[in-house]
């Protein structure tokens, strides 16, 4: 679904993809508050169901840029799957933002924070199928975090648990229907199940790996080569939007924007669950002011260290060979971030 951009005179449009998640906030905010226009950009938003669509459209040239899970940058840039093309990451859009949700059929008295899961699966699992969890993509942080959580509690895949891949908005309905037993996804799709009473949360991503990078701005190599000034302005505009999203005084307006059907279409009540600082896990409430981090000291800089977290996680689950730091710096571009920072300061 495309959302028309302003027809800025003399400007080619920039097709910018995103997935309906709470952490698409910088893109939604930049669009709805006129930040893109202030930078002279004609941005046309394209709402994608999931990350496979983002990957394919970036490869085939249907998008100039996209909100993306970090793993797609490496999958495309290094040709880890069947598709390979030049891409660049000039900006980290946020840290954290994910959680694990389990079916309400699984009792917290049995599972705890995960420490009881191995015993439960050994002695009490009665279904005629494997215990099944969902993640959003093979190369996603969600896949990494699920595997970390399972290993922490003495379980492994595929011998103990089956992991399947689903687009984020589809996870709550599959959980409710009993097709899966849990999932790891970005908000608001955990809160949708939690507040409906069909799921509960044993761990958030900030619990599992505090400070981990989440979504990135992904640019096509062609767009970067042919329209360098616009690519810099796009990153600068989104850096401004990240700052605004982190401002507590703007949080209510941000929630109202994310609730629009063009973005998540979730109710403000559901969105507020992870964006208010108090997170209802389905078994209690906890202070989670760091559930979403959009801006702060070094948050948005695309460092080799942030890239290494993703790659180490993917190697840990056996789907990525060793790569060199030089390969990382060709994709995670601190020079582009520096240019965007200067552009933002001069805007």
Instruction: Sort strands 292-293 and 95-96 into parallel, antiparallel or unpaired.
Output: antiparallel
Listed residues 184, 208, 232: the one ending a domain:
208
291-311 residue pLDDT tens: 999 999 999 999 999 999 999
Contact 266, 186 (CB under 8 A): no
Q: Is the pLDDT of residue 209 over 70?
A: yes
Residue range of the domain that includes 158: 98-208
Q: How many domains does the chain fold into?
A: 2
Whether the per-residue pLDDT at 110 is higher than 80: the answer is yes
**Residue 346's pLDDT is what?**
75
Identify each DSSP E strand in 166-269 by its residue range: 182-186, 199-204, 215-220
> With bands split at pLDDT 50, 70 and 90, how would you rate the model's confidence at 3?
low
**Whole-prediction pTM:** 0.94
CATH number for the domain spanning 195: value is: 3.40.190.10
Q: What is the mean pLDDT of residues 105-119?
A: 96
Average pLDDT of the chain is 94
Q: Is 164 helix (H, G, I), strand (E, B) or coil?
A: strand
Query: Is residue 9 over pLDDT 70?
Result: no
Q: How confident is the model at residue 8 (pLDDT cuts 50, 70, 90)?
A: very low
State mean pLDDT over 76-82.
Answer: 86
Mean pLDDT for the stretch of residues 1-7: 54
Output the pLDDT for position 6: 43
Q: Are residues 9 and 78 in the same domain?
A: yes
Whether residue 175 has pLDDT greater than 90: yes
Residue 103 has pLDDT above 50, yes or no: yes
Give me 75's structure tokens.
């999958």
Question: Same structural domain for residues 217 and 91?
Answer: yes
Question: Once rounded to an integer, what is the mean pLDDT over residues 39-45?
Answer: 98
Statement to judge: residues 55 and 78 lie in one domain: yes
pLDDT higher at 210 or 329: 210
Do residues 116 and 245 share a domain? no
Closest listed residue to residue 217, CA positions, set 77, 60, 62, 332: 332
Among 157, 178, 208, the domain-final residue is 208
> Is residue 62 domain-shared with residue 184, that is, in the same domain?
no
pLDDT in tens, 220-258: 999 999 999 999 999 999 999 999 999 999 999 999 999
Q: Are residue 82 and residue 225 in the same domain, yes or no? A: yes
**Do 84 and 219 reside in the same domain of the chain?**
yes
Q: Give yes or no: residues 292 and 328 share one domain.
A: yes
Residue after which a domain boundary falls, among 151, 179, 208: 208
**Same domain (yes/no): 145, 74:** no
What counts of helices (H) and strands (E) characterise the chain? Answer: 17, 15
Q: What is the mean pLDDT of residues 261-277?
A: 97
Strand segments, DSSP code E, in the chain are 2-3, 13-18, 42-47, 65-69, 87-92, 95-96, 98-103, 132-135, 162-165, 182-186, 199-204, 215-220, 278-280, 285-287, 292-293
Q: Tell me what percent of the residues of the chain surpass a pLDDT of 90.
A: 87
Residues 82 and 126 occupy one common structural domain: no
Q: Are residues 243 and 194 in the same domain?
A: no
Q: Which two tokens stand for residue 291?
A: 């559930």
For residues 87 and 217, membership in a common domain is answered with: yes
* Better-predicted residue by pLDDT, 50 or 158: 50
Residue 219 in this model has a pLDDT that exceeds 80: yes
**Averaged pLDDT for residues 313-320:** 88
């Amino acid at each position: 679904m495309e959302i028309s951009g302003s027809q800025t005179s003399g400007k080619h449009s920039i097709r910018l993809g995103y997935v309906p998640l709470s952490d698409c906030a910088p893109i939604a905010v930049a669009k709805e508050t006129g930040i893109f226009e202030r930078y002279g950009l004609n941005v046309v938003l394209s709402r994608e169901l999931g990350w496979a669509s983002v990957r394919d459209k970036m490869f085939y040239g249907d998008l100039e840029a996209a909100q993306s899970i970090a793993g797609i940058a490496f999958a495309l840039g290094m040709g880890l799957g069947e598709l390979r093309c030049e891409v660049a990451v000039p900006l980290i859009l946020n840290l954290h933002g994910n959680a694990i949700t389990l079916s309400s059929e699984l009792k917290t008295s049995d599972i705890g924070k995960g420490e009881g899961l191995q015993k439960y699966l050994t002695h009490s699992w009665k279904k005629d199928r494997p215990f099944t969890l969902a993640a959003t993509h093979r190369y996603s942080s969600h896949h990494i975090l699920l595997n970390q959580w399972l290993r922490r509690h003495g379980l492994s895949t595929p011998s103990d648990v089956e992991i399947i891949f689903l687009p984020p908005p589809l996870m709550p309905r599959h959980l409710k229907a009993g097709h899966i037993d849990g999932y790891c996804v970005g908000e608001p799709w955990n809160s949708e199940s939690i507040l409906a009473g069909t799921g509960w949360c044993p761990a958030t991503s900030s619990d599992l790996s505090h400070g981990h990078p989440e979504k990135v701005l992904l640019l096509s190599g062609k767009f970067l080569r042919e329209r360098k000034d616009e690519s810099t302005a796009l990153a600068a505009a989104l850096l401004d939007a990240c700052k605004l999203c982190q401002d507590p005084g703007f949080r209510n307006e941000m929630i109202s924007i994310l609730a629009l059907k063009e973005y998540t279409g979730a109710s403000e009540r559901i969105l507020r669950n992870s964006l208010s600082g108090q997170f209802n896990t389905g078994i209690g409430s906890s202070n989670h002011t760091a559930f979403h981090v959009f801006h702060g000291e070094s948050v948005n800089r695309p460092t080799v260290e942030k890239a290494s977290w993703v790659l180490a996680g993917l190697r840990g689950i056996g789907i990525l060979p060793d790569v060199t730091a030089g390969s990382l710096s060709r994709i995670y571009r601190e020079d582009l971030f520096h240019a965007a920072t200067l552009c933002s300061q001069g805007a």
